Amino acid sequence: MRGEGKLFIDGKDALLVYGVFVEDGGYKSLIQMPSFKKISTTEWPEYDGEEIDLTEPVLDSKTFSMQFCIVNVDYAEILFDELATGAYHIFEFRDIGKSYKLRLTQNGSFSSFIKLGKLTLSFADDFPEIPEGTHYKYGKSGVRQFGYELDGIDFSQFGSFVLKGSDDAIRKAPNVRSNLSVDSASLSGLIYDDYYVNFKSKDVALKILINADSIDEFWKRWNSLFAIVLKPEARSFYFSTLGHEYECYYKSNSVTKFEIMQNGHIWCEFTLTLVFFSCRPVGSELLLSTEDFDWVITEEAEDPARIKIRPKGHLVLLISEDGEYIITEDDSSLIYFNNI
């Protein structure tokens, strides 16, 4: 019988005793990580972002819904009665190789057609755990992507693909923090402190795919990522496209697709939301230096300037700090590298 031997509730086969099994795709809310409990933060008007206390962050309880199919609706009341006997029950999901101690919080939708039916139940997981895991050596996960790093570990080393849409979230500028203003009923407009512009922290939603050959392989990849994401103190996220590194911390996780193929293959798409808490939009620039890391400067004796490298189309041009192009001695030709 379909579903037999896959879900056990308090040691009883859920299909044989209650006639229920997990609907296809029903695991996605179960596996997603809960958020941290409220983290202490302080905003200072003269600084970007926020000051945060990440010395001992802890995971919050997680409430979620799961969809089940029932092969005989006459068994439904037996299941409800069992779940009402004591708050906590052990759910063993053998499809994903995990057991959870869950508490029923709500009976959601129930629909039936003759003997068959569907029901949605809400549970609380009051015992979340931070996983343990080790990432792959570089190039060993089989993921051919690079340029996104967490604490110096490329996301490919977690066996994860960073999906389309993530770059836009990273590059989007944070919102501006409002300065002191005075709005008087006797004056048109208002008086605004325009001395400086500072930015708030921003949420960055990374869209990620884990494509694994088996459930054991999936958990290896998943655990290796969240073992780093959920560590105390701030994390460091590097984005190679801009060449920038950002301080960040974990905010939330949402699984949008979790599919177990007939051959045991796992396809999991999820969003990992990080808070970039000290993030200011800045341009990227490169400066010329010697092998000894001394700056290469222009020849002006009174006011020498460092020399920048500025991309322009398919060319890379040399330019001084004051915005003047470096030219040849005949005062007519720009100096560039062919970057095709």
Q: What is the pLDDT of residues 242-262, one digit of tens each?
A: 878 899 999 999 999 999 999
Question: Chunked in runs of 10, what are the mean pLDDT values of the chain (340 residues)?
Answer: 78 92 92 94 84 92 93 83 90 96 87 83 95 92 91 94 95 87 87 84 96 96 97 93 89 96 95 91 69 76 72 62 71 60
**For residue 175, with 0-12 CB atoms within 10 Å meaning exposed, 13-18 middle and 19 or more buried, which class applies?**
exposed
Q: Which residue has the tokens 């720009």?
A: 334
Helix spans in the chain (H): 14-18, 28-31, 76-83, 166-171, 215-229
Q: Which of 5, 34, 28, 18 is nearest to 119 (CA)?
A: 18
**pLDDT reported for residue 1:** 47
Q: Tell me, what DSSP letter sits at residue 137? A: P
Which residue in the block uniquely carries the two structure tokens 């998943």? 222
The encoded tokens of residue 201 equal 């922290």
- Note the pLDDT of residue 217: 97
**Structure pTM?**
0.79
Q: Which residues of 48-76 are buried (b: 16+ CB within 10 A; e: fewer)?
A: bbbebebeebebeebebebbbbbbebebb
How much is the pLDDT for 98?
96
pLDDT value, residue 313 = 47
Both tokens of 220, joined, read 């290896």
Bridge partners (DSSP) of residue 275 are 203, 249
Quick count: other Cβ atoms within 10 Å of Cβ 252?
A: 16
- CA distances in angstroms from 218 to 147, 211, 333, listed in the order given: 22, 7, 57
Q: Which residues contact 186 (CB under 8 A, 6 or more apart)?
A: none
pLDDT tens digits along 142-176: 998 988 999 999 999 999 999 999 999 999 988 88
Of 158, 311, 321, 298, nearest in space to 227 by CA = 158
CA-to-CA separations, 110 to 9, 117, 266, in angstroms, rounded = 20, 7, 29
Give the per-residue pLDDT at 251.
96
CB atoms within 10 A of CB 336: 16
